Amino acid sequence: MAPRVLIIGGSGAVGKPLVDEFLKQRSHFERIAVLADPAKISRFADAEKKGVEIVVGSFLDASSYKGFDVVVSLAGNAAMKLQPGMIEAAIAGGARHFYPSEFGGDISVGDFWQNRYFRDKVVTRDHLAAKAKEHPDFRYTLVLTGPFTEYAVSSFNGIDFEKHTVEPYGKPGAQLSVTAMADVMRYIVGSILIPFDGSKNVREFRVPGEARITWETLVEYLGEVQGVEYKLTYLDPREAAAKQEEARKSGNEDEEVFWAGKSVMLNGSGLIPGPLDNAKFSFTPETAKETIQRLFGKK
């Protein structure tokens, strides 16, 4: 039977393009639905006209998941900590395949497992592993892409596009993997259509669009496409860590996560270790250079 998919967080920054990608591949799915809070249904009016179902309810209620095989969570930072509850409800409602809200670096390598920015993703992975032991027919998929290129090359990482300066927290020469956002969506949707190996409860798709690049090279491409030279100055990650700790002590969770996120890009853990799975998909992803050219209307 073709998969019946429920998307949680379909109105978010990643949720919208993901819904669009599902619509492009509509014929491969029996049902594509978004879970919507009763007060926010109107956000999905356009998607509904194009063939997306709206399930009205809470992601903590088992009945929301009835009739779905696959659940894709796109919970943002605020809702991330609620994912264990979603997983419980999804299993109780009959769903047997869960995509946790990951879609970035491999949080099991380097400092990431201890980084506050990924704490709720770590807890979610542990919860999934425990549930898979309890329910032998429950499965989950991790999609690892590294940072989205569009998010890497952004003001969040200290880029000033007008002054042509870059001041990220990190160290020179750190390597990372990056993937264009539209390609991340193709990998997520395409992966659902790849049969799960029956002997396992968990699988990973390691699918960076640009498998290995340095921050210096990204900045060089940026300068090249704008016809300018960027001045790159690294900031000490300990300064970001101190601000993170200050925020934690004052109980400002959003600030705490914000500062934790400042040092994830260039701490050397942003590289997705192989073996990679890109060859399991039938499209060629955009390179980092192509994405930057596209962002500046040069492609």
Ligand X SMILES: NC(=O)c1ccc[n+]([C@@H]2O[C@H](COP(=O)([O-])OP(=O)(O)OC[C@H]3O[C@@H](n4cnc5c(N)ncnc54)[C@H](OP(=O)(O)O)[C@@H]3O)[C@@H](O)[C@H]2O)c1
Nearest CA among 105, 154, 148, 120 for reference residue 14: 148
> How far, in Å, are 141, 150, 223 from residue 24 at the CA level?
21, 22, 34
Nearer to ligand X, 182 or 195 (CB): 182
Binders of ligand X: how many residues, by CB under 6 A? 20
**Which two tokens mark 161?**
């596009």
Give the H or E element holding residue 99. Answer: strand 97-99
By CB under 6 A, tell whether 75 contacts ligand X: yes
Q: Burial, 81: exposed, middle or buried (Cβ in 10 Å; 0-12, 13-18, 19+)?
A: middle
- Part in contact with ligand X (CB under 6 A); list of ranges 102-110, 209-217, 219-227, 243-251: 102-110
Q: What is the distance, to the nearest Å, from the Cα of residue 136 to the centroid of all Cα atoms in its chain?
A: 26
By CB under 6 A, tell whether 85 contacts ligand X: no
By CB under 6 A, tell whether 15 contacts ligand X: yes
Q: Which residue from 24, 26, 40, 299 is in contact with ligand X, where contact means CB under 6 A?
A: 40
CB neighbours of 99 closer than 8 A, spacing ≥ 6? Answer: 70, 71, 72, 73, 140, 141, 143, 188, 192
Nearer to ligand X, 41 or 92 (CB): 41
By CB under 6 A, tell whether 148 contacts ligand X: yes
Return the DSSP state at 12: S
Nearer to ligand X, 9 or 190 (CB): 9
- Residue pair 208/140 in contact (Cβ under 8 Å)? The answer is no
By CB under 6 A, tell whether 103 contacts ligand X: yes
Instruction: Give the nearest distance from C-beta 12 to ligand X in angstroms.
Output: 2
Q: Which residue from 14, 107, 180, 232 is in contact with ligand X, where contact means CB under 6 A?
A: 14
Strands 202-206, 139-144: pairing kind? parallel
Nearer to ligand X, 61 or 197 (CB): 61
State which of positions 151-190 bind ligand X (CB under 6 A).
151
Residues that bind ligand X in the complex, under the rule CB under 6 A: 9, 11-15, 37, 40, 74-76, 78-79, 101-104, 147-148, 151
